[in-house]
Amino acid sequence: MDFYFGLAQIIGVHTLLGLSAYIVLLTGQVSLAQAGFFAVGAYVAGMLTVLAGWAILPALAVSSLFGGAVACAVGFPALRVKGLMLVIATLAFGEAVRLFFFNFDYQVAKGGVKLGPVGGEGFRQIRYFPEHGWTTMEVMLFIWGFVILAMALLWWFDRSRYGAVLRAVGEDELAAQSVGINLTAVKVSAMTVGGMIAGLGGGIYAHYTTHIEHASFGILLATFALAYPILGGLESVFGTVVAVVFVQGLLVEGLRFLGDWRNLLFGALIVLAMNVRPKGFLDAPALLWIGRIFRGRRGAA
């Protein structure tokens, strides 16, 4: 069972990563900076629990705040550009963060052992969960508790005036601006919320893997962050979860027995999925069909 609990941990962390990009995509902005916010949260949370001796919950809270603060600071200059220029700008930021941690060296001696980030060697011995006797199942439940909270927050946003404003900006910026919507404020707020979720996910990731390094936060991770909500569909927050299960559960783990051939099939299945469901797994017709099923069952009951 530990294997399945471990897989559920991976799916949970990647769901947080995908959700962090989901809210930004609602505004029509394509950002590759989520891996950078994820890295900030991972290093901050790891340093707080390992070097400062903090408990896991306050460390994750601070990592989330750091991720949001960095996202807010990046959002103001980055969101002045659009389209491919925004993609390049956020990609450059993500790579700058990765290279910063590649050169970041900060160690503290504890019990005759030096602990902390060591540049390219990464940050080892983030052992909060094993040192406090957490089982694999407990870690999995802990992670999914935060996933459910993040999904509930975004689900509430989707049904609030704020969510309507986000989608209005994503659909037509000129029309949204003409009715008095402050485009910069909306985009930066979405980037900030996304950064907070990514920072939280990074903090959790650092503790369940116990070892992080700069190479873990490259362009591949940023691409995954964008792929999940796009593949799942932007009509509902639940689409991101479906996409993460499809990619991490089926394509990455389920096809592992194929060895090197898995990489070829992985790309082919992604292309097939996007052609069959161009607007995502949970597009508007799919959600309508699911709603009819649930209404039919309630009527029968």
Specify the 3-state DSSP secondary structure of 113.
strand
Least confident of 76-90, 193-207, 279-293: 279-293
35 pLDDT tier (thresholds 50, 70, 90):
very high
d(CA 3, CA 231): 26
Euclidean distance between the first and the last CA atom of the chain, given in angstroms as a whole number: 35
Candidates 101, 111, 132; CA nearest to 51 is 111
Least confident of 36-45, 105-114, 177-186: 105-114
pTM greater than 0.75 (yes/no)? yes
pLDDT at 280 over 80: no
The mean pLDDT value for 269-273 works out to 70
Candidates 1, 3, 10, 2; CA nearest to 201 is 10
What is the enclosing helix (H) or strand (E) of 109? strand 108-110
pLDDT tens track for 57-88? 999 999 999 999 999 998 888 777 777 788 88
Write down the pLDDT at residue 263: 65
Least confident of 6-10, 136-140, 228-232, 284-288: 284-288
Tell me the backbone φ, ψ of residue 100, rounded to 5 degrees.
-60, -45
d(CA 196, CA 17): 10
pLDDT at 23 over 60: yes
d(CA 243, CA 283): 12
pLDDT tens track for 116-166? 899 888 998 899 999 999 999 999 999 999 999 999 999 999 889 999 999
Residue boundaries of the structural domains of the chain: 2-217
Category of 190 on φ-ψ map: left (φ > 0), alpha (ψ -120 to 50) or beta: alpha
